[in-house]
Amino acid sequence: MAISYEDIVKVPKALLHDHLDGGLRPATIVELAAEAGHELPTTDPEALGRWFAEAANSGSLERYLETFAHTVAVMQTGPALRRVARECALDLAADGVVYAEVRFAPEQHLEQNLTLDEVVDAVVTGFREGSALASEAGTPIRVGTLLTAMRHAARSQEIAELAVRHRDTGVVGFDIAGAEAGFPPTRHLDAFEYLQRENFHFTIHAGEAFGLPSIWQAIQWCGADRLGHGVRIVDDITPGNPPMLGRLAAYVRDKRIPLELCPSSNVQTGAAASIADHPIGLLRDLRFRVTVNTDNRLMSGTSMSREMALLVDAFGYGWKELQWFTINAMKSAFIPFDERLKIIDEVIKPAYAKLIG
C-alpha cells in the first residue's frame, strides 16, 4: 500500500536540525516587517513565500544569504522573537513533530538593544507557549532550544556560557554555524572544552560544504556529540560491493555519531544533485546513525512530512524505514535518556506498530 503525504503528517516525527530564522511564516514576516519599518521584496505573503524559495534555489549564495537578512531583521524585539518561536512550535506540531530541537544565534538579535539573556528568554517563552497551545489542540510537542554561535565571529565562548546558564529553562544544546571554509571548528576549541567540562551537549555544523577535514576536527578535536549535516562523510566511502569505509567513516559509524541530514537543503547547497542521488540512501544502507531534518523550512519550502515523503518517493521507503529514522533522531536528542525513551516507547513505537502490523 502506497504511503501518502497525508499519512506521513499523522505519524510522530522527531526533528534535530531546524533553524528558527529559517522557518518563519511569510505572513508573519510581512506583519513584523511593517512594525519594524523593514522593506521586503513584496508584501504579499504568497508571493513572498515564492520569493524565498526562488532565492534559495537560485544557485546564488548572495541571494540565499539575503533571505536570512530579511528574517533576522524582523526578529529584533522580544515580542517578535516570542511570536516566531510560538508559531514555530505550532507549525511543527501541526506537521506531526512530537519532539524538535530548534536552533538560533542569539548574537544576531541584538540590534534593538536586547541582551543575550533577554533574547533567549523570549525564544524559550515562545516555544513554551506554542507547545502549550499545541497540546490543547491535541498535537503535543516538546521543543528544546539549541544556541548557535556564528563561526566567523568571536563570541562562541560567550554563547556557550549563555547556553549553560539557560540549561534548566529549555536550552538543551549548543552549535556553531556559518561558512565552514576558513572557519574550522578548532577556532572555537575553548568553547567546546568549556562545554565538555560542564557536561553539556553540542552539535557542530560540519561536512556540509567543506568535507572530511571539517568532520574530523568536529569529532576528534572538538568532541561533537552530533554532526550538523555531515553528508560529506561519503567522501570517505569507496563505492563497491560492498562499499569500503575509510577510517573516519568507520569511526563515525562505529561510534554511532548521529548525522543530521537535511535532504532538500543539501540539494539546494549542492551537496547532492537530487533527492534520489542524496547519500542518505547509501548511509542508511550502511547503518550509519542517520536522521532526517528540515534545516530551513521557509527557504526549502519544506516540512518534516515533505522530507519523508520525498525519501519515500526516491528510495521506496516504507513505514519501517520512517520509524527507523524517527527513532534514530529520538535516540540522539539532547534531553535525558529516560525522557527520550518515554517518547520512543509511548508515542513513536505504538503509532508505527499500527501501520507496520
The residues that are catalytic are: 208
Distance CA 259, CA 38 (A): 37
- The answer to whether the beta carbons of residues 14 and 333 sit under 8 Å apart is yes
184 preceded by cis ω (within 30°)? no
- The answer to whether the beta carbons of residues 203 and 173 sit under 8 Å apart is yes
Residue 187: C-alpha distances to residues 69, 149, 176, 220 (Å):
25, 12, 11, 14
Distance CA 220, CA 215 (A): 8
Strand partners, 203: 226
CB atoms inside a 10 Å sphere around CB 26: 20
CB atoms inside a 10 Å sphere around CB 32: 24
Cell numbers for 49, please give them.
513565500
Distance CA 178, CA 205 (A): 8
Beta strands (DSSP E) in the chain are 13-19, 97-104, 142-150, 171-177, 203-206, 226-229, 237-238, 244-245, 259-261, 290-292
- The answer to whether the beta carbons of residues 64 and 130 sit under 8 Å apart is no
b/e map 83-99, b = 16+ CB within 10 Å: bbbbbbbbbbbebbbbb
Cell numbers for 175, please give them.
552549535
At residue 290, φ and ψ (nearest 5 deg) are -90, 135
